[in-house]
Amino acid sequence: MANNIHLGHGVHTRSNNWVGIGDLLVHAVTQAVADLTAKPLDQLRVLDLACGEGGFSIELGLHGASVLGIEGRTGNIEKARFAAEVLGLDRVTFQQGDVREWTEESIGRFDVVLCLGILYHLEATDAVNLIERCYGICEDVLVIRSAIGLTPNVGVSVNGRNYRGRRYGENVREQFASLDNPISFFPTRASLLNLLADTGFTSVYEVRNPVVPELDDFRDNVTLAAIRGHRAPFLSIPELDEALPELRRPDRRGPSWIWAAALPEQGIYWRLRERLFHTVRRTIWESQRPIESWRNPRR
């Protein structure tokens, strides 16, 4: 199995002293779910999309959660079911299926939805539609782990909204590739965050602790927790409150480092950039402009 799970009596799915970043990520996501939900773990109903061999589902099940894992590959489903059966996890079930095809009528609603390692294995339209459907059945928290596009090469329009990312080819015969689509889509960080806001999630947090050491080295991976809450109105400036639902994060063209900014005190490189482009000064001191202009932020 991809994750190392203790099955009891000193038996593990891998070596008893083997721990990988995948296991540490399971712990980090479980802690985030525990921290961000109003209910104890043993009262949660969790949906684990593209659950693979069931590592996240099994861990949450061990905490008492009711979990449904959906996975497209037969071999993965068999391993996940075996582990759940050996551990006696009657509230953890696995269903073989395509994450693009489930409906609320067929599976119900969930306190927590996990969308880990699947979004960037879909075409752009399918990825957007998946997030919208996740919002529809999610009562509390959606957790996403996804690769993001650092050098976008395509823009797409889905449901009247524009998103940018990197289109790339997949070998569908590989174990961790897409099920059947030969082309998939890395959304940029800005587009992914805009998508979550467009869908209706009221706030988004990045999961950085508990630590997954080597994962920090990957600039093109994020783990996000999106909250389905109630929007708090901005009472200090009522006129701005009307514009806030349309406020989107600029999704600029070109590599992200071109637009990077930092205080000049960070060193000579940043002092030179500020002297040439005045990015920090413009952002902090010259950002005020008419309310209407915030509806269409500058690129």
How do residues 155-186 score in pLDDT, each as one tens digit? Answer: 999 989 999 999 999 988 887 788 889 999 99
pLDDT for residue 299: 43
Cβ neighbours, 10 Å, residue 158: 16
The whole-model pTM stands at 0.91
Q: How far apart are CA 20 and CA 278, in angstroms?
A: 43
Q: What percent of the chain is predicted at pLDDT more than 90? A: 61
**Range(s) of the chain covered by CATH 3.40.50.150:** 6-227
| Half-sphere CA count of 172, side-chain side, radius 13 A | 10
User: In this predicted structure, what is the pLDDT of residue 4?
Assistant: 78
What order of strands is seen across the sheet that includes strand 183-187? 154-158, 161-169, 183-187
Q: Tell me the average pLDDT across 30-48.
A: 97
Query: Which residue stretches of the chain are H helix?
Result: 21-36, 55-62, 74-86, 104-107, 124-137, 189-199, 238-243, 268-277, 279-285
User: Using CA atoms, how far apart are residues 100 and 134, in angstroms rounded to an integer?
Assistant: 11
Considering only residues 279 and 219, tell me which one the structure prediction assigns the higher pLDDT: 219
Quickly state the pLDDT bin for 200 (edges 50, 70, 90).
Answer: very high
Q: Which of 42, 203, 215, 44 is nearest to 114 (CA)?
A: 44
**Which CATH architecture describes the domain 6-227?**
3-Layer(aba) Sandwich (3.40)
Packed helices 74-86 and 55-62: angle between N→C axes, nearest 10 degrees? 20
* Structure-model confidence comparison of residues 10 and 212, the more confident one: 212
Mean pLDDT, all residues of the chain: 89
Percent of the chain with pLDDT over 70: 93
DSSP for residue 87: T
The Cβ of residue 269 has, within 10 Å, a number of other Cβ atoms equal to 10
Could you tell me if 33 and 143 are in contact, meaning their C-beta atoms sit under 8 angstroms apart?
yes
- pLDDT of res. 298: 47
Is residue 243 scored above 70 in pLDDT? yes
Do the Cβ atoms of 96 and 74 come closer than 8 Å? yes
Under the banding of pLDDT at 50, 70 and 90, the label for residue 254 is low
Q: Looking at residues 204-214, what average pLDDT do you find?
A: 92
Q: Which of 90, 83, 87, 88 is nearest to 68 (CA)?
A: 90
pLDDT value of residue 222 = 95
Predicted confidence (pLDDT) at residue 256 exceeds the cutoff of 90 = no
**284 pLDDT higher than 70:** no
Lowest mean pLDDT among 60-64, 109-113, 242-246: 242-246
Task: Count the helices and strands in the chain (H runs, E runs).
Answer: 9, 12
**Mean pLDDT throughout 15-21?**
77
Q: What is the pLDDT of residue 123?
A: 96
On whether the CB atoms of residues 237 and 254 are closer than 8 A, the answer is: no
